[in-house]
Chain A
């Protein structure tokens, strides 16, 4: 496998304290305190331990916590606290050794492969593939069969095989770094590869080492204590955390207390390693995206009384309608107090450049705004039904059967894992008044596919989306939208992703469907040529506001707003369509 992890973008400044900011996050900070605190306590065990770890007091076995024995004694009357302090030594030494080997091999293999490339890279990548597939724990047992109870040999093995994962990460960062200017400069100034790696690449990679090292430490700890539990890592009377869990398990029937103490400590330590690693990764991500703050969600409009139901016979009306999105810098209004009405049977253009708020307006009518967006004022009406604020259940009933959507990217709009037929069948069963019988559904599929002028509908129905062209897929999406005989069809840039030759066909289809079914179509587009060709009336939006409104003739011949004039001038196809209007 030669999967390359996405290389983290190299920072311009090489040295950033990776721990900066961790103190503002309580959970990782607490975890770091636990890791450091326990490690220090274990290192100073001879000073801190109240008793020698092997001293037995057979008169006070399994005595719970007392002044003399803060954590009690074990089955041989040995002080549990002292044994935990001393027992941490083989465990943490083992983890430390594993981490050293892990970092050393991960760094050097990754850097050699990523910087030298060529054959070195190929050979190292192949070796890494094998290393990653080796069941390292099993190999460790084989090592222990020969080097019996050698904690060091076992943990070196673990660190070595795990380093392949780190080497892959380092390799991809190194490939990215290699292309940076400062490396070129160093190369031009005559530095050899070894020096460049040592002086320029290595310092920039060390920051990335920390997260994997903490995460791996947690794993290494689990493995070391597991080996200790099996009695494979340390000879018997000397304490080790895993071995103490094993001892506690022997007397679990009489007293499970020691099990909680010894195992709990391992769990706490292992959890803390993981939490520090996760916390550092989050910090790194925040630094990269430069977003620290939480997203504040916009407040949805909740006052229905201020928006009276419009009574102009429109099939769809929007009044004083605003939409906002949550961003890192607070809510941002993308649609600002717009109002418009769509009459039955008309093709209504919603025109503007990308970012003008037209697509968002369309999606909001279906209640399909992304989770961080909301309608913040006004309301939309479907005939007599107020859409804004409608419960999800009601919206779901309206979608497909009252308002339907044709979206921009036909290649992405259909589920790639199901055949066209099965997707259409699901929509038909959901929205249309067709009895659930199989051949009725099949007949309806045939009818729908024929109505969008697809030849051989039975063959199309059997296919997966990736087997069909963009133009065919867009016809299928339209057929799917027609399945519930909606009153309003929202077509969001239905031709943008298609070839020019196919575009005209889709627009013709929309027009003829409007003529046949009498539904209203809201055509969202940036292309004034399409508007001139297809629409009856239109609005032009700029940065969330309506700047122009009227019949297509008005907009083209009597544009009132400078923005509209600019749009018309910048649309090359207008010359052609103007001729047609006249």
Chain B
């Protein structure tokens, strides 16, 4: 398992280099005074100076990047051009909301997706057709629109859940959970379609395997065959898919958080983009990338745990 983890970490070094360099490279393409162009004509002199200083814009691009990397390695991501807050502090404050969304969405989509996939694998052709159409709908329709429809129905019309806003867990766990229900559902719908499709295909090919036939020939019932033996054999493709889905959920939170005005990384990055707050954008880009790397690592570890051949070696 160790070589797999090391390989993943080795791959993430160039990834982080590329991602952290991206704003510097882009900014060097801006004609004229980058600070002026980026901030627009309405910016104050203080903001202009702050951006100049934060990005070391008086230096050549390579030096700018080097200075940024040096600070980054010391855990210093700079501070916001507008609030003056440290970027790291901002991330620490907003991360829990985004994590709650991503984890909640992953758990929900995995459970529902696997159950639906198994169900459709063991039913007839008609239900498979129907399932195909529903799953295509779920994956094609943009999630921010689904989120808005959910708000229109469950928050505006029936007032089951709050339409927007966020209550910290420490304040009231109940309201915290109620506020996350609609966002988590909206985020997970595309994932449900994805997971159920992969589970269905994996399940159908697994059910045709020899060892499943042996179990059937020994009189083992369908419940144990499907939910214990066949599902276990589907573990690898399904876990890989759950990982891929979770990675799409990470940027997916941006739109969802904005629909529900949740104070997470997604709303923060959009606000920072609108305000041209480069240090914040920069820091969040790296944070999102690290989240993707962590999910990939988790999948790698799970992958080797699920494979008995890797495990015993």
List chain A positions with a Cβ less than 8 A from chain B: 126, 129-130, 133-139, 141-148, 218, 222, 225-226, 229-232, 245, 248-249, 252-253, 256, 259, 263, 266-267, 270-271, 273-275, 278, 363, 366, 368, 370, 396-401, 404-405, 407, 409, 412-418, 423, 426-427, 430-431, 464, 466-467, 477, 480-481, 483-484
Contact = CB atoms under 8 A, between A and B. Distances in A.
Contacts of B247: 135
B214 A400 contact: no
Interface stretch (B63-71, B180-188, B218-226): B218-226
Contact of A134 (B34, B208, B289): B289
Contacts of A430: 218-221
Question: 6 closest A-B pairs (Cβ-Cβ)?
Answer: A400-B219, A405-B217, A137-B251, A263-B145, A412-B210, A400-B218
Given A226-B144, A407-B210, A412-B209, A141 B270 contact: yes
Contacts of A464: 308, 312
Interface of B: 11-12, 14-15, 18-19, 22-23, 26-27, 30, 34, 38, 40, 136-137, 139-142, 144-145, 148-149, 151-152, 156, 208-222, 224, 229, 232-233, 235, 247, 250-251, 254-255, 258-259, 269-270, 272-274, 276-278, 281-282, 284-285, 288-289, 292-293, 296, 308-309, 312
7 contacts: A139-B19, A141-B273, A145-B23, A218-B140, A245-B145, A256-B152, A271-B137
B40 A142 contact: no
A539 B259 CA distance: 73
A155 B170 CA distance: 40
A125 to B, nearest CB: 12
Given A399-B216, A427-B218, A229 B149 contact: no
Contact of B23 (A146, A263, A401): A146
Contacts of A130: 11, 14-15, 18
Contact of A232 (B215, B270, B292): B270
A298 B12 CA distance: 55
A416 B19 contact: no
A484 B296 contact: no
Contact of A401 (B12, B156, B219, B274): B219
A422 B219 CA distance: 15
B84 to A, nearest CB: 18
B233 A417 contact: yes
Contacts of B23: 142, 145-146
A368 B136 contact: no
B140 A466 contact: no
Contact of A467 (B220, B250, B312): B312
A406 to B, nearest CB: 9
Contacts of A409: 210
Most chain A CB within 10 A, of B38, B211, B272, B289, is at B211
Contacts of B145: 245, 259, 263, 266-267
Contacts of B137: 271
Contacts of B18: 130, 134
A138 B288 contact: yes
Contacts of B141: 266-267, 270-271
Contacts of A418: 229, 232
A415 B220 CA distance: 13
Nearest to A414: B211
Given A145-B23, A259-B149, A229 B210 contact: no
Contact of B213 (A147, A404, A407): A407
A141 B273 CA distance: 6
Contacts of B22: 139, 142-143
A404 B214 CA distance: 9
Of B144, B208, B235, most A-chain CB atoms within 10 Å: B144
B142 A415 contact: no
A427 B218 CA distance: 6
A427 B211 contact: no
B148 A252 contact: yes
B136 A146 contact: no
Contacts of A142: 22-23, 26, 273, 281-282, 285
A431 B278 CA distance: 68
Contact of A138 (B209, B235, B251, B293): B251
Contacts of B149: 259, 263
A148 B26 CA distance: 12
Given A267-B141, A426-B224, A404 B38 contact: no
A141 B281 contact: yes
Given A370-B208, A400-B217, A415-B211, A245 B229 contact: no
Contact of A135 (B27, B221, B288): B288
Q: Indicate the member of A139, A423, A484 with the most B CB atoms within 10 Å.
A: A139
A134 B15 contact: yes
A467 B309 CA distance: 9
B285 A139 contact: yes
A76 B289 CA distance: 41
Given A225-B142, A230-B270, A484-B218, A274 B136 contact: yes
Given A226-B255, A270-B140, 19 more contacts: A142-B285, A145-B23, A145-B276, A146-B26, A146-B34, A147-B30, A226-B254, A230-B255, A256-B156, A271-B141, A398-B219, A399-B218, A407-B210, A409-B210, A417-B308, A418-B232, A430-B218, A466-B312, A467-B312
Given A145-B281, A252-B156, A275 B142 contact: no
B148 A245 contact: yes
Nearest to B212: A415
A467 B270 CA distance: 54
Contacts of A229: 144, 255, 258
